[in-house]
Structure 1
């Protein structure tokens, strides 16, 4: 089967094109770092497989996701490469294209974002570009699908066609290239030898590691040193890798002079005008905080809550009545009746009523991601992040963590420095993911109804504040960071398409529904069973159940935090599986018919101060089971995984203790 690879700079539209060309759908965002590992899909019309590689700026990797792309090119032999470049940033994007053309595989150059280039007054002569590079050049607007059919038709027979290899004249380095090529002749299954020689001279770490045991690296170093000496004699005093880059840059400059017409380019476009306000040194962060407040206002007060009330009425009314009638009609036993109604319906239904808030939140987040604003947020936070030991790029995984901590941990791969990557991974669980949202909605709706959006926003801000504080502590004493340079891609602002928004919202929200049908369902059954049984057998009183006994073990420890009851202890314990199960457990424990009934029980069991302390504890305590699993996978260390659980528990306890005991001293109840 033919295999094709999508390669390009971050945020050039590779994943959008991947979704159009294949039968699968991957997450798309108008910011760098969305793809953090290679993704494989089947091309439409049975055209073979398509691999979407992480966005890279060159074949010299700095981060783990960039290493994935370079590793693929050295180990695999794709039938052809589809190099996606941004037509509005052609000169910068061609730096990678030149390296791919030297690689020697057949290439299609996908000239994406033609609409953006046109709006900026930039015109690309496609025919001249095609003649200069010797490869097909296809204009694209990937987000609308324009040009994708031409890509598919070109790929049908393109894999079998030999593509001319771009050969630049590297002057004084040519002798060194030839010498290393001779050393490579005895090594099987290598791509283009000249390309490999150039990568060795450029000190590409992936290529050096792959060939370290197959060639004499001391001889390679000797050849490189002789070449640098010649460059020095010729008056070029930079290193050999810099010389190679400069030759490529000169070729690109001449090429762009030939194929680009900037005579009508606009001096200030919409993106620049918006950036003057949204990324303003003093106004940028306040604007972001106002936006977050409005996000929660819409999510809870204006749209989410009314829809949740309707859904709650539907589940507690027609759905519950229908299930009860059906069970009565088939003569179900009291055990079966209690299991389905009190366990499954109460547990799962108690979480499902928050679907509207979660989907509204994801819709707005998808809009902001696709508009290009998220990348600006990371830029705004760079100075603050740098002050605590990281850079603005680490803030992107933090923002992703607002949706789910699992992909957020995975997205930390795009961070170049290993220590920064580990530090970010350890702190991501402090970001308030959507799984905590049902807990906030429940408690804020009962005790802080008139200030619900503000209270929920305070949870998100608290999570960020704790992450920054611990970042400073860890980077100063535990993981001393290396000096780093912050580079972030600022994509153009654009109005997201309705189809893209709906698919993005669905892709984020379906994970919640999947958990409702699996983990939350299983957890609800287990919780109900523990509440239904006890040392005295089946059908015991709730206070005499195994669940009460287990929760009671934690009650004494939790008492100083304001919620020292077995009900709170049991809910927090089961919340380790998934934070949504905290609400499922309470629904089963308090045995209420609908959300209004649960809110009434919560109002009797907590005070506003206790409720806020409880929400803070849910925010900060142990990561969920899935997040623990991905931390273990990404760090390859049980030591760091256990550390992430331990510090979160200690932090949650201390912050809740300060909130509750401090609130009491100040006269709050």
Structure 2
């Protein structure tokens, strides 16, 4: 039987970097059984019989969050052969709190002090031997980022796992507490392993209901706990917490020598600017504007646009269609099959893949910002803003992830403890423009807005604004009333980004987009080709040259009237409607649909080609912006809808979430087109203008209406596996 090693540590301690370095490509990701929390496992490099399980990042083994429940359940029930506890050496005191709890489980523990390079750079010292003696476990220094010491740490964990050597924890509480713990241990059931008795005794003393529910009725510690609380004038949990930090403080003085306690670190100096109350948000806006300018703008520095121009004009505009055409001619393929391949598959899939360079640049820049530690600061900054609008800063994390793909973004909402906040985050995360929506922005920014980087930037902040407005609106209703969940987050020290981490993150996000182009988009391209190429003419079903007579036009015209108030009228109306409908399959399909409808075999490019002229002829700037707003904010793709269904775990809530997004998108697009058009003179006064004005007035009323008083909601954390 193989060896199981659990990787445990605080969030942002470098745990994921260490996991990637130890396992490389030998990883497999899924969900913990019965729980919507990601489970990562991998085989140790060069030792295929050693499985490393990356536990969720946690601060303690007190189960207040679903991640803590999962981690504690695994450690208690599965009993791995060893624990590799990674701690942040630049914040040793905070990280050792979890260490003291892990040592009480009776499982061999190796403490890996990470970021030792940063510690040395700061002129500080961590004395490993005294620390190891104080904790009664092995302690090694590593740098997961530079991959120094990681092999030694893993080898030590494997060695301890083979010998099953677990020493009693070195820390002891005060005599008052130790006396009570000894008395509790005498009452424990005989089936509790000797190595875990201290852990169970502490949890019973803390009145941990999850532990107490598994104990025999004979275990009665209430009187002992109450007596100690009265004696020390503290509740039991606070007593244990204080005792742990007293122990940690005592060994920190022996093991940690700080060079200059009064001098601010480089990270602190940077944070004094980028997290400044007044400068933080303008800096963030400037950073995101630069990111979108480089990846999607029309400037000389816009390398993403240059790559996309080449991909569309040359690769999918000339090379691929030319090679495919030559191959078809050589094979003697013509007629409908040649049309299917060139006009359907090459045109549709090529139109989407042409935007891959822009998205890879965007993902690359975002991964750099994440790896250097800036995005963690943004979560902190946004918490100040979000809390004013009824959202927690934790809601920003799913929205950040959603910039790559809405599916993992929605799944990231699992970290939010309060049920109402989690549901509200799920309902609003889809507003953030994901990578799949970037081609829509790129198409219209190029066709009608002269490749303006501000159009792309505004699309991102429209999503953020929709989230903020939704937070205010939804909090006015009883289902979502109440204070947002508290946000606690460790801010990692700034560091140079790891090339492997950045490239891995960029590739994973980009590859998920490319895979969809080869599967869902390929299939839908074929279906679209058929629907727009065939129809009924004079009652006879046949191939049609004018796609206004096609089956696609028939379907689009049947429902296009719904979108007339948004400015989707004329021949463009049914095309825009169909593009929106296919966008529910995958948002990339919006551009793909236009490519097929405009009959251009893979020649959809950014540099003033024919389809831009046709799009510009069909749309006005205002109707184009209305189309963008609706497709950016409406229901996400089928995959994201499936993620909503899994996370909500309730059909009514799922339909409610999708319905809310569609309704909000429709109202926003209608207000922009009708009110904006009335002001500019593009839209005459009509019933729709009045309706838009009423919607705007209602929105303003809901925004300024005072919050209803709500009772404090106690949302119990639901465990799927009882300890």
Do they superpose with TM above 0.5? yes
CA distance in 1, matches of 2:209, 2:321: 61
Give deviations 1:298-334, integer Å, cap 9, x for gaps: 1122212221111112212111011011111112242
Secondary structure of the residue aligned to 1:487 is: coil
User: How many Å separate the matches in 2 of 1:266 and 1:626?
Assistant: 51
Match of 1:87 among 76, 86, 89: 89
Counterpart of 2:147 in structure 1 is 145
Inter-CA distance 427–83: structure 2 relative to 1 (3 Å threshold): same
**Structure 2 unaligned spans of 5+:** 30-35, 683-723
Structure 1 residue 158, shift from structure 2 partner: 2.0
Pairing 1:627-638 to 2, within 5 Å after superposition: 627-638=640-651
Question: Which residue is equivalent to 1:284?
Answer: 280
Deviation at 1:455, TM superposition (A): 1.2
Contact 2:584–2:637 (8 Å) recurs in 1: yes
TM-score (norm 2): 0.87
User: Structure 1 pair 610/166, CA: closer, same or farther in 2 (3 Å)?
Assistant: same
The aligned counterpart of 1:530 is 531
Q: In structure 2, how many angstroms separate the alpha carbons of the residues matched to 1:228 and 1:483? A: 32
In 2, distance between residues paired with 1:214 and 1:647?
A: 45
Alignment of 1:197-596 (within 5 A): 197-204=201-208, 206-208=210-212, 212=213, 215-216=216-217, 222-233=220-231, 236-265=232-261, 267-300=263-296, 301=298, 302-312=302-312, 313-449=314-450, 452-477=452-477, 478-482=479-483, 484-535=485-536, 536-541=540-545, 542-564=547-569, 565-593=573-601, 594-595=603-604, 596=609
Pairwise CA distance, 1:368: 0.6
User: Could you say what secondary structure the match of 1:665 adopts?
Assistant: helix
1:35-60 residue CA offsets vs partner (Å, 9 max, x unmatched): 95331111112241000011111101
Deviations 1:518-565 (A, max 9, x none): 111111112112223334434234222221111112211111111131
**Residues 207 and 236 in structure 2, CA contact (< 8 A), matched pair in contact too:** no
Residue of structure 2 aligned with 1:117, choices 113, 116, 119? 119
Cα distance in 2 for partners of 1:264, 1:99 equals: 30
Cα distance change of structure 1 residues 447 and 454 upon mapping to structure 2, 3 Å threshold: same
The number of aligned residues is 654
Q: For residue 654 of structure 1, what is the aligned residue in structure 2?
A: 667
How much does 1:571 deviate?
0.7
For structure 1, the 5+ residue unaligned runs are: 29-34
- The CA deviation string for residues 371-406 of structure 1, in whole angstroms up to 9 with x for no partner, is 111111122222221111122222122122212111
CA drift at 1:121 = 2.4
Whether the aligned pair in 2 keeps the contact of 1:37 and 1:53 (CA below 8 Å) is no
Work out whether 1:132 is the aligned partner of 2:134: yes
CA contact (8 A) 1:67 1:206 kept: no
Q: Which residue of 1 aligns with 2:100?
A: 98
CA distance in 2, matches of 1:21, 1:539: 58
Instruction: Select between 656-665 and 178-187 the one with higher mean Cα deviation.
Output: 178-187
Decide whether aligned partners of structure 1 residues 152 and 230 sit closer, same or farther in structure 2, where only a CA change above 3 A counts. closer
Deviations 1:461-512 (A, max 9, x none): 1111111111111122131134643322111111213332222211221111
CA contact (8 A) 2:84 2:111 kept: yes
* 1:619 CA displacement: 0.7
Q: Which structure 2 residues correspond to residues 183-194 of structure 1 after superposition, within 5 A? A: 183-187=187-191, 192-194=196-198
TM-score (norm 1): 0.94
Asked whether 1:165 is paired with 2:168, we answer: yes
* Equivalent in the alignment of 2:692: none
State which of 187, 192, 195 in structure 1 corresponds to 2:199: 195
1:271 counterpart SS class: helix
Deviation at 1:228, TM superposition (A): 2.5
**Equivalent residues of 1:417, 1:482 under 8 A apart:** no
Does the aligned pair in 2 maintain the 1:74–1:190 contact within 8 Å? no
SS across alignment from 1:280? coil
Contact 2:273 2:279 in 1 (8 A): yes
Aligned to 1:31: none
**602, 624, 628: which is aligned to 2:637?**
624
Q: Following TM superposition, by how much is the alpha carbon of 1:170 offset from its aligned partner in structure 2, in angstroms?
A: 4.7
Do the aligned partners of 1:574 and 1:582 also contact (CA within 8 Å) in 2?
Answer: yes
Q: CA deviation at 1:176?
A: 4.0
Is 598-607 or 170-179 further displaced after alignment? 170-179
Ranges of 4+ aligned residues in structure 1 off by more than 6 Å: 25-28, 188-191
Cα distance per residue 1:139-191 (max 9 Å; x no partner): 11001211122123223432122110216245333454344434442446897
Aligned counterparts of 2:489 and 2:20: Cα–Cα separation in 1? 24
1:134 positional shift: 2.3
> 1: distance between equivalents of 2:554 and 2:186?
75
Q: More displaced, 547-556 or 174-183?
A: 174-183
8 Å contact kept, 1:617–1:655 = yes
Cα deviation digits, residues 416-463 of structure 1 (max 9, x gap):
22221221111101111111100000001011115x111111111111
> What's the CA shift for 1:203?
3.5
Q: Distance in 1 between matches of 2:442 and 2:195?
A: 56
SS in 1 for 2:680: coil
State the alpha-carbon separation in 1 of the partners of residues 392 and 492 from structure 2.
Answer: 19
Q: Is the 8 A contact 1:304 1:357 kept in 2?
A: yes
CA contact (8 A) 2:4 2:50 kept: yes
User: Deviations along 1:218-243, whole A, 9 cap, x unmatched?
Assistant: x65x513432223423xx10011111
The answer (yes or no) to whether the contact 2:26–2:44 under 8 Å persists in 1 is no
8 Å contact 1:15–1:26 — kept in the other structure? Answer: no
Tell me if the contact between 1:38 and 1:68 (Cα under 8 Å) persists in the aligned partners. Answer: no
- For 1:51, what is the secondary structure of its paired residue? strand
Matched residue, 2:79: 77
Task: Note the C-alpha offset of 1:137.
Answer: 1.2
Distance in 2 between residues matched to 1:200 and 1:404, nearest whole Å: 43
The residue aligned with 2:697 is none
Q: Could you tell me how far apart the structure 2 residues matched to 1:81 and 1:435 are? A: 39
In the alignment, the residues of structure 2 paired with residue 479 and residue 27 of structure 1 have an alpha-carbon distance, to the nearest angstrom, of 36
Of stretches 245-254 and 155-164 in structure 1, the one that deviates more from structure 2 is 155-164
Which secondary structure state, in structure 2, belongs to the residue aligned with residue 83 of structure 1?
A: strand
The 1:36/1:89 distance shift into structure 2, 3 A limit, reads farther
Shift in Å at residue 274 of structure 1?
0.8
